[in-house]
Amino acid sequence: MLNKSLLPLIAIALLASCGGSDNQSQQPIETGFPSCSVPDQNEVFFKFLQNTYLWYDQLPGAINPQAYSSVDAMLDDVRFEQDRFSGFQDRQDYDDFFENATFTGYGFSSDQSTDLNAYIVRYVFDNSAAGLAGLSRGDRLTNINGFSVTQINRELLSNETVFGPDQVGFTINITFEKPSGEIINTQMSKIAVSTNTVFASQVFSSNVGEVAYLSFQNGFIEASDAELEASFAQLGNAGIDELILDLRYNSGGRLSVAANLASLIVGRSAVNDIFTTLTYNDKNSNRNSSFRFTSKLNALNLSRVVVLTTPNTCSASELIINGLAPHMEVATIGTATCGKPVGQNPDFYCDKVLSAINFRTVNSLDQGDYFDGLPPTCLVQDQIVADWGSLDDPVYAEAVNYVNTGSCSAPTASKSRSRQSIELTTSPSRLDYQALLTGHLH
């Protein structure tokens, strides 16, 4: 299980390699403090910020490295006010998420914000203890390890108290309710969970032809490319005319994976065109570069894609929407995205990874800066009440309606993004980024 205190950092990790982790070697920096002490790390990481931070000109001229109890405290003090994305994490957590795709836990994600009396299961990883216990999307966990969720919320019990230590074999009793109303009491034990990112892939026939639905969650990570290629190979054999792409709980990751996914969707009509352009600060303008659409054997060659969104749809997920929009129609169903048109290449020192914003992203029409999120074409509040691809899911049901009719079932101010224009509106109030991921991994 991931500790509750690590969740914001994992959220950052989902974004930290947006644009690709270049892992450039750093020149040694002499600080005068013991190596890897807190003051030493404060000074080294501040110097990294002075060189690569997108908003380096908004930093103080200098800091007192001894004035901060941690690198997190230092960053919180010096960050630019618009920056709600930069952060630190331990190197092992970073490697486990991006490279190893593993963690110790039961293997599911939950929404803990919408029901004070239950944790709602967002998704369950393949071959996980949670899956073997019978958990699936839409289930309501009401009792965990002897604690009712009502008690957990009332007493603010810690994740370790409720779910136990990060120890393979640790076993808990759980009670959960299926959407059908069936109550199940069972046990599950922690294992080394191998995370997947494709959670569902299915095809159905409609009055516009063959429609594919693909649920892609939990990051754009190293393993995603192979999963996506396999899924699109199957979809290509089905002669797909339309695609519903579910990115509701995908908060980003590697930009190279996003470029591959976009290429698989749009296909031959955009090959060699710009998908997104990265612009660094004026000290690093030599690093400015573009990702282009590439030729893909399993590309669907579509003219429209319908994307499901929530405030957890972030970074690389938003690049899919913004980057495809000049080349095809992109309709979004759900709620506004998180608003992250910027990205990070990580800096490493001691056992810490600094993922600080150091470039902005725009599409081939130079459109970006959607810090208030990308608005939905059809506004529908997310409700986790059924498994993937069920018409009982109101967001999915609205997407199916849009595919069939080309319009929303209820009026919405936004329009679909198309080759002609992109409408980037602002939301009157947006959640702080650290509050976006209210669903947790266990």
Summarised one tens digit per residue, pLDDT across range 360-387 is 999 999 999 999 999 999 999 999 999 9
Q: What is the mean pLDDT of residues 322-345?
A: 97
Q: Which residues contact 28 (CB under 8 A, 6 or more apart)?
A: none
By 3-state DSSP, what share of the chain in percent is helix, strand and coil, each rounded to 5?
A: 30, 25, 45
Nearest Cα to 138, choosing from 74, 200, 212, 229? 200
> Which domains are seen in the chain, by residue range?
4-98 (no CATH), 105-194 (2.30.42.10), 198-341+363-441 (3.90.226.10)
Q: Which residues contact 323 (CB under 8 A, 6 or more apart)?
A: 258, 259, 262, 275, 276, 363, 364
Note the pLDDT of residue 373. Answer: 96
User: Taking the model in full, what pTM does it have?
Assistant: 0.89
272-304 per-position pLDDT tens digit: 999 999 999 999 999 999 999 999 999 999 999
What band does 92 get if pLDDT is binned at 50, 70 and 90?
confident
CB 278 within 8 A of CB 19: yes
What band does 93 get if pLDDT is binned at 50, 70 and 90?
confident
H or E, element range at 93:
helix 91-95
125-141 per-position pLDDT tens digit: 999 999 999 999 999 99
What band does 422 get if pLDDT is binned at 50, 70 and 90?
very low
Share of the chain above pLDDT 70, in %: 87
